[in-house]
Structures are given as C-alpha cells and as structure tokens.
Amino acid sequence: MAHKGFPTDQGMAFAAQFAGVYLNFSPEDAPSRTRKLAAFLAEGMDAQMWWDGFGKMAAVAIQPYDIEATDGQNAVVSVAFQSGPRRLMLSVPIYYSGDDNGKRFVVAGRPAILPAPAPADLPQVAQPESDDAAVAELKPQLEGFFKDYASGDTAGLQRYVAAGKTLPSFGSAFTFAELKDVVVPVGGATREIQAVVVWIVPNGDAPATPSATDPAAVGGRLEQAYRLTVEKQGDKWYVADIRGAGRAVG
C-alpha cells in the first residue's frame, strides 16, 4: 500500500539492498558485514543487527516485493529471497527523511523473516482442437526454422520467415536438438501456434555437438515453449513472429 509523499520505488530499492547484506552472514565475514551494514543503520543501532556472531545464512534472488507506507516518512518493505530450497520474505521497517532533509532512508528497527506465500494452484487449460493437416505441413518447416534460428544462419533463416519480416537469431548460443511438440489450432491462413523445442546447451566454451557420443561433449538438453505467428503463403507456412509461449495448455 503506497502513501502519497512516500517514494515507494526508492524505499523498496533501499530495503532490498539492505537485505542483500543483512541476510548473508558467517562468523568469518562478521567484520565485513558490520562495515557494510553501517551504510543502512540509524546512529546507535546494533552494528550486527542483533546477530550474535554465530551460525551461517546465505540468501540469493533478493527482490523488493511489496511496501506498506503508514505516512510520508514511515514504511515497512517486504523483500523476497531464496535461502537454500526455501523461498522466504524479509520485512524491513524504514524511515524516509523527506525533501527538507536530503531525501535519505534508514532502517528504523529490527527486520523479520517470514514464510513466503506458497505457489498458486494452476487450473488446467483445455488444448484447442488440433489441425493435424497443418501440423504435418508445419513440422518440417519449423524444424528448419529452429535449426537456423539457433545457428544464426541468416540466409537460411530467411527461407522460413514471412515476406517483409526479419528475426534475430541465437548466433550459435544453442544448437537445435528436436521439435518435441507442435500445437496448431484450426484457423485461416494466419495462425497462432505453440511449439516445444529442445535446445542443446554447450558445456563451457565448447560448442554443442549433437552427433557426439559422449554425453558430456554433447551438452545439456533444455526444453522450452514458444508461441509463433505463422502465415501460409502459397503452399508453405512461414514464421512472422516468435515469443515466449506463456500459459501451458493441457
């Protein structure tokens, strides 16, 4: 909940930066943590934020999540973070000095760690009626498209792209492994379709090599889903646009 006069974006950024220091500690790093925390704390506040110097904690994926401002100077910011397998929240009380005092923030009290909300229940979405004839026509076209989309073969890619359109490519960051699934709803000459593609992710700096016999040399396999706009021109389908697929269908 925002309050008129409280700079919510800046306050949430301040709290998230503080959380990055506060949530990571070990006895070996205690002196360094004390020095870093000093940039956030009010004068006279405990230098280690009431930590006794024992135990260890590590936090990643720290992001501002919500803010509740009670007036133009006081707010409590919720910061989301990950510690080990757990997703948690940190509640941080902050104070804003206002325009007349330099637009500064400070942590105003003890933080509190709380459980994060559980994942939402995702209802199943019915798959649309499939146009099997269009699927059969599109599969070889899409296989060629995704192969060149991965490799960065600009001339090859244009053979599969609709007239007047240009699309960027991965430039060999990945290698195309297979087209695992295609969903083509019934429709006209322009369709919104979904495709599940398997990319080969290289190991280190070595290029992905699908023909290699050693799994370590091949690289990892990563399945991803895309939504494509395809257009039929003559007797062939061409790709006009590609983006993330969004909501999964059952």
Contacts of 110 (CB under 8 A, 6+ apart): 49, 50, 93
**214 occurs within a structural domain:** yes
User: How confident is the model at residue 247, as a pLDDT?
Assistant: 76
- Name the residue range of residue 210's domain: 132-244
Residues 61 and 158 in one domain: no
**114-120 contacts: CB < 8 A, separation 24 or more?**
114/78, 114/88, 114/89, 114/90, 115/88, 115/89, 116/80, 116/86, 116/87, 116/88, 116/89
**123 occurs within a structural domain:** no
User: How confident is the model at residue 3, as a pLDDT?
Assistant: 64
**3 occurs within a structural domain:** no
DSSP string over 170-183 = -TTSSEEEEEEEEE
Residues 107 and 194 in one domain: no
pTM: 0.79
CB hemisphere CA count around 112 (13 angstroms): 9
- pLDDT, average across residues 59-64: 98
DSSP H/E element including 231: strand 220-233
CATH of the domain at 194: 3.10.450.540
pLDDT tens across 161-207, in order? 999 999 999 999 999 999 999 999 999 999 999 999 999 998 866 55
Residue 220 CA to residue 201 CA, distance in Å, equals 5
Whether residue 209 has pLDDT greater than 70: no
User: How confident is the model at residue 116, as a pLDDT?
Assistant: 96
Number of domains making up the chain: 2
Residues 108 and 71 in one domain: yes
Which one-letter amino acid corresponds to residue 49? M
Residues 140 and 208 in one domain: yes
User: How confident is the model at residue 55, as a pLDDT?
Assistant: 97
Where does a domain end: 71, 90, 115? 115
User: How confident is the model at residue 60, as a pLDDT?
Assistant: 98
Residues 73 and 170 in one domain: no
Whether residue 24 has pLDDT greater than 80: yes
**233 occurs within a structural domain:** yes
pLDDT tens across 83-93, in order? 999 999 999 99
Where does a domain end: 59, 83, 115? 115
Which one-letter amino acid corresponds to residue 249? V
pLDDT tens across 79-126, in order? 999 999 999 999 999 999 987 778 899 999 999 999 999 999 988 888
Across the chain, what does the average pLDDT equal? Answer: 91
Closest CA to 238 of 155, 137, 170: 137
